[in-house]
Protein backbone atom coordinates (compact mmCIF):
# COMPACT_ATOMS: atom_id res chain seq x y z
CA UNK A 1 0.00 0.00 0.00
CA UNK A 2 2.86 2.34 0.80
CA UNK A 3 4.32 1.71 -2.66
CA UNK A 4 1.04 2.59 -4.37
CA UNK A 5 0.75 5.73 -2.26
CA UNK A 6 4.27 6.86 -3.16
CA UNK A 7 3.79 6.08 -6.86
CA UNK A 8 0.53 8.06 -7.01
CA UNK A 9 2.15 10.97 -5.18
CA UNK A 10 5.23 10.94 -7.45
CA UNK A 11 3.06 10.93 -10.57
CA UNK A 12 0.87 13.67 -9.04
CA UNK A 13 -2.26 11.61 -9.53
CA UNK A 14 -5.40 12.95 -7.93
CA UNK A 15 -6.30 9.72 -6.10
CA UNK A 16 -6.45 8.70 -2.48
CA UNK A 17 -5.31 5.33 -1.17
CA UNK A 18 -6.74 3.90 2.04
CA UNK A 19 -5.12 0.88 3.68
CA UNK A 20 -7.96 -1.05 5.36
CA UNK A 21 -6.82 -3.30 8.22
CA UNK A 22 -9.87 -5.43 8.97
CA UNK A 23 -10.50 -7.52 12.01
CA UNK A 24 -13.27 -10.10 12.20
CA UNK A 25 -16.38 -9.17 10.23
CA UNK A 26 -19.49 -11.31 10.53
CA UNK A 27 -19.54 -12.80 7.03
CA UNK A 28 -19.39 -16.30 5.60
CA UNK A 29 -15.57 -16.06 5.57
CA UNK A 30 -15.41 -15.53 9.36
CA UNK A 31 -15.91 -19.09 10.51
CA UNK A 32 -14.93 -20.68 13.78
CA UNK A 33 -15.95 -20.94 17.39
CA UNK A 34 -13.42 -18.62 19.01
CA UNK A 35 -14.13 -15.31 17.31
CA UNK A 36 -13.86 -12.16 19.36
CA UNK A 37 -14.48 -8.49 18.66
CA UNK A 38 -16.58 -9.44 15.67
CA UNK A 39 -18.26 -6.58 13.81
CA UNK A 40 -21.40 -6.67 11.76
CA UNK A 41 -20.92 -6.29 8.03
CA UNK A 42 -22.91 -3.04 8.14
CA UNK A 43 -20.74 -1.53 10.89
CA UNK A 44 -17.54 -2.51 9.05
CA UNK A 45 -18.85 -1.13 5.76
CA UNK A 46 -19.81 2.16 7.42
CA UNK A 47 -16.35 2.56 9.00
CA UNK A 48 -14.65 1.76 5.67
CA UNK A 49 -16.91 4.20 3.81
CA UNK A 50 -16.22 6.97 6.33
CA UNK A 51 -12.45 6.39 6.16
CA UNK A 52 -12.43 6.55 2.36
CA UNK A 53 -14.63 9.65 2.37
CA UNK A 54 -12.22 11.35 4.83
CA UNK A 55 -9.24 10.18 2.72
CA UNK A 56 -7.61 8.44 5.66
CA UNK A 57 -4.30 6.76 4.93
CA UNK A 58 -4.99 3.74 7.18
CA UNK A 59 -8.06 2.51 9.03
CA UNK A 60 -8.61 -0.37 11.44
CA UNK A 61 -12.01 -2.07 11.27
CA UNK A 62 -13.34 -2.05 13.90
CA UNK A 63 -11.50 0.78 15.59
CA UNK A 64 -10.53 -1.40 18.55
CA UNK A 65 -8.33 -3.53 16.23
CA UNK A 66 -5.89 -0.62 16.38
CA UNK A 67 -4.93 -1.92 19.84
CA UNK A 68 -4.10 -5.37 18.42
CA UNK A 69 -2.05 -3.80 15.62
CA UNK A 70 -0.01 -1.75 18.11
CA UNK A 71 0.58 -4.78 20.33
CA UNK A 72 1.77 -6.87 17.36
CA UNK A 73 4.02 -4.07 16.17
CA UNK A 74 5.86 -3.77 19.47
CA UNK A 75 5.67 -7.47 20.35
CA UNK A 76 7.33 -8.47 17.07
CA UNK A 77 10.21 -6.08 17.77
CA UNK A 78 10.59 -7.54 21.26
CA UNK A 79 10.72 -11.14 20.02
pTM, rounded to two decimals: 0.74
Residue 67 resides in a domain = yes
pLDDT, residue 56, reads: 94
Please answer whether residues 23 and 43 qualify as being in contact, where contact means their C-beta atoms are separated by less than 8 angstroms.
no
Residue 7 resides in a domain = no
- Over residues 64-70, the mean pLDDT reads 84
| pLDDT grade for 39, boundaries at 50, 70 and 90 | confident
| Domain interval for residue 27 | 20-78
Beta bridge partners of 21: 60
- Over residues 20-36, the mean pLDDT reads 78
Please answer whether residues 18 and 59 qualify as being in contact, where contact means their C-beta atoms are separated by less than 8 angstroms.
yes
The 10s digit of each residue's pLDDT in 8-27 is 999 999 998 999 998 888 88
From residue 31, alpha-carbon distances to 42, 44, 52, 71 in Å are: 18, 17, 27, 24
| pLDDT grade for 33, boundaries at 50, 70 and 90 | low
Residue 2 resides in a domain = no
Domain count for the chain: 1
Amino acid sequence: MEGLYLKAKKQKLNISITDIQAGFVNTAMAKGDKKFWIASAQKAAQQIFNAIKKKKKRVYVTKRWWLIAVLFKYFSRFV
